Amino acid sequence: MNEVTEQISIEDKIIEMAFEHSLNIDRRGFIGGSDGAAAIGASDYKSQRQLWKEKTAPTWERPELKSAQAEKILIGILQEEPVAKMFTMWTGIKVRRDNRDIVHPDYPFIQAHVDRVGKDSEGKRFILECKNNSEYRTDEWKDGNVPPDYSIQGLHYLACCPEAQYVRFAVLLGGNHLVYDIIIERDEELISDYLTRVSDFWNNHVLPKVEPPVMLLDEPEVNAVEVTNDELLLLDEDEYYNMVKECYLLNETKKQAEKAYKEKNIVLRDIIAGHKGALCGDLVVKFGSQNRMNFLEKKFKDDNPDWATKYGEQKTIRVFEIVPAKGIKK
């Protein structure tokens, strides 16, 4: 077997193992802990509309994964056990697996599968979530903070496990530092609000197949829609005019702010001159040098016209702009 073939087979094997351990599940019939943030529109990674499409798909299909994505997922799963063991070594608190598929008694579409459960020295039951994060996420866990998606996941588990008094996180950062003292306490008011919002998503969007409102995370999909009609769509003024006008004015304000910013900072850059920056009160003005390699596109095309044609790709993009039709209404 040559090196290329062997590499391909290893990548395929990693993808298969990731599905075997975690992903080979039809999740259309319920909202799980990792869905919670997206379900209430609070995720930094997935919109309500993206989750809605997954939950309302006519058939379940395995998501397409690159080997790097699969490897990250698989390592996270395999690290649960050593992270749990380190937590016990660090704290002296024993935890165990809980292999139940936990279903909320009043909301059967809200389900949970927790990493570990335990009981502390005061006899309080808790859920332990084992995470494996890059060192670049260290700041997100500082001072007892929990990243939003994980925080809502913890709230989801507390909603499904009334016996648990809190969720505790054991987080391996950069493979060499364990954070184990971050806790989300049970808060019935927050849990009630969360259940209401998830129920709204499920009952008013998933079940009746009503698409949720668009969010910023949906931008790539919105921009990918091709122009098929050269006529202008006539929007209802009573419903949309205030939104269109506000968007227009915000963009004008942004352009004015950018111009004012450039006019001010050119003066500061001129004053700083050959220094790498300046100190003014409690603010540091940075004007350092950075080396970067620029691709000489024109020279490349001139020197290699055939290559430029062969490897060049023409793309159609959509440009959003608002301009006065016959002046902005007062």
Q: Where in the chain is the domain with CATH 3.90.320.10?
A: 3-206
Q: Average pLDDT per run of 10 along the chain, which is 330 residues long?
A: 53 63 76 96 95 93 68 79 95 93 95 95 96 91 92 97 96 91 95 98 98 94 90 91 94 94 94 92 91 84 79 79 68
> For the range 135-144, what are the long-range contacts, defined as Cβ-Cβ under 8 Å and sequence gap of 24 or more?
135/173, 135/174, 135/175, 135/177, 137/173, 138/173, 138/174, 138/177, 141/169, 141/171, 141/173, 141/179, 141/182, 144/181, 144/182, 144/183
Q: How high is the pLDDT of residue 63?
A: 66
State residue 23's pLDDT score: 58
- On the 0-12 / 13-18 / 19+ scale of CB atoms within 10 A, 306 is exposed
Distance CA(156)–CA(97), nearest Å, equals 18
Helix (H) or strand (E) holding 158: helix 148-160
Q: What is the pLDDT of residue 66?
A: 67
Torsion, Cα 106 112 117 119, to 10 degrees, reads -20
List the alpha helices (DSSP H) in 178-317.
188-201, 219-223, 237-272, 297-303, 305-311
Helix (H) / strand (E) containing 6: helix 3-18
pLDDT value at residue 5: 46
Note the pLDDT of residue 29: 94
Q: What dihedral angle (degrees, nearest 10) is formed by the CA atoms of 118, 121, 123, 129? A: -30
pLDDT at res. 330: 45
Please tell me the class of the 3-206 domain: alpha beta
Looking at residue 14, its pLDDT comes to 63
